Amino acid sequence: MWSYHNPVEVKFGRGSFSRLADALAGRKYVLVTYGDEYFRRLSREIEAQAGRPVLTIDDIAPNPDIALLKLQIERFAALDAQPEVVVALGGGSVIDSAKVFAAARGDFDAMDAYLKKRTTADTIKPWQLIAVPTTAGTGSEVTCWGTVWDNAAGVKFSLAHPGLYPEFSIVDPDLMIGKPRDLTIQTGLDALSHSLESLWNRNANPVSMAHAITAARGVLSTLPLLADDLRNADLREGMARAATLAGFAFSNTKTAIAHSLSYPITLRHGVPHGIACSFSLPMIIRSVAGEGGIWAEGLDAIFSGNVDNAADQLTAFLGKLGVTTDHRQYGIGDGEWRELIDLAFDGERGQNFIGGKDNLLAAAGLGKEKRKAVA
């Protein structure tokens, strides 16, 4: 038995940004975005169409940290009128931050208790969300969770609630044209990871598989071309479509072992998320060789039946984008790599993985013989 559910209404296509005012439908809104001139211009366009927001939060940092989020939530206390909807205009960090603000409704302590699953936590009732992604990768525009970082404590939290599915997702590839090459690659690889992570997953189902296959094939065929032609509107549209479909795939499965591995890599070594969750993908493919079911069916479709060297193909693909699969190049020694693999299986995302720890250690070159050498 299986089920699939996603309530987000997606408005996709070049020029769809102009439909934001219709989605707002005259409601009071908070705008969450970045503060540079490009986003200030887009903010002015929104105001011209839909009126001024009751509050603009435009000091969003990469990998939103809970200390900054607390200060930003305190700004809601000064509002004369509470918003009816939160608009997120930006990349994954903006959308994740907007989900925190929607969940908190101006009360940081209530959101924090819910986030950290304290026994005193009350059920939250988030404000409505409209997500307008400006990068192709996060998938957060069609999921009900967001990532919150606590750098001081060295931990990462996942904020999850059915009320955090955006009401609307407006995906306009024109907003992504001209994004820097490194950002384009990192976000694109995040989408690829979402696709594969939803396949080697205990929660996989035929609908998520169909989305994942189309998304992965789209990233593999489009991203190398886009990396060398950043203003190509057709390629931007192809990547935006792949990223959204990857979001639909893992919106039902959550991520798995690659993401579980990635969080401490980002926290400890500062590796950008899209790289941290993707450089291990060939290793993971090798570790689940012989697994059947949706994973095998999906892998066969993605690599057109040439599954025996899928990991090698993916290694070459990453190499062309300047991404090494050698953990040591990210400052991670063999001993720490083994520790991170051990830890990854303990987390919720690691428990979604269909593979086993011994096979993954062997694929990492940390089998019994290697483990003795680094003990």
Strands (E), 80-193: 85-90, 128-133, 145-150, 155-160, 168-171
- Which phi and psi angles does 90 have, rounded to 5°? 160, -160
Q: Are 217 and 200 in contact (CB under 8 A)?
A: no
Q: Looking at residue 122, what is its pLDDT?
A: 72
Q: Give the CATH number of domain 180-374.
A: 1.20.1090.10
HSE-up (13 A, CA, CB side) for residue 120: 5
Residues paired with 246 in a beta bridge? none
Q: Are 345 and 357 in contact (CB under 8 A)?
A: yes
What is the location of CATH 1.20.1090.10 in the chain?
180-374
Share of the chain above pLDDT 90, in %: 92
Q: Are 355 and 223 in contact (CB under 8 A)?
A: no
* Distances, alpha carbon 52 to alpha carbons 46, 47, 55, in Å: 8, 5, 8
- pLDDT greater than 70 at residue 371: no
- What pTM, to 2 d.p., does this model score? 0.94
Q: Looking at residue 372, what is its pLDDT?
A: 38
Dihedral over Cα of 149, 318, 320, 237: its sign: negative
For the stretch 149-173, pLDDT in tens is 999 999 999 999 999 999 999 999 9
- Residues 277/279/280/285 CA torsion (nearest 10 deg): 110
For the stretch 332-355, pLDDT in tens is 999 999 999 999 999 889 999 999
Residue 267: both structure tokens together? 């926290």
Average pLDDT over residues 313-337: 98
For the stretch 49-97, pLDDT in tens is 999 999 999 999 999 999 999 999 999 999 998 999 999 999 999 999 9
* Radius of gyration in angstroms for the set of CA atoms belonging to the chain, rounded to a whole number: 20
Single-letter residue type at 201: N
Query: In the chain, how many H helices and how many E strands?
Result: 17, 8
Distance between CA atoms of 340 and 349, rounded to whole angstroms? Answer: 13
For the stretch 233-269, pLDDT in tens is 999 999 999 999 999 999 999 999 999 999 999 999 9
Dihedral over Cα of 222, 171, 179, 266: its sign: negative
What is the location of CATH 3.40.50.1970 in the chain?
9-174
Average per-residue pLDDT for the chain: 95
Q: Give the CATH number of domain 9-174.
A: 3.40.50.1970
Average pLDDT over residues 91-118: 95
CA–CA–CA angle 254, 121, 256 (5° rounding): 15
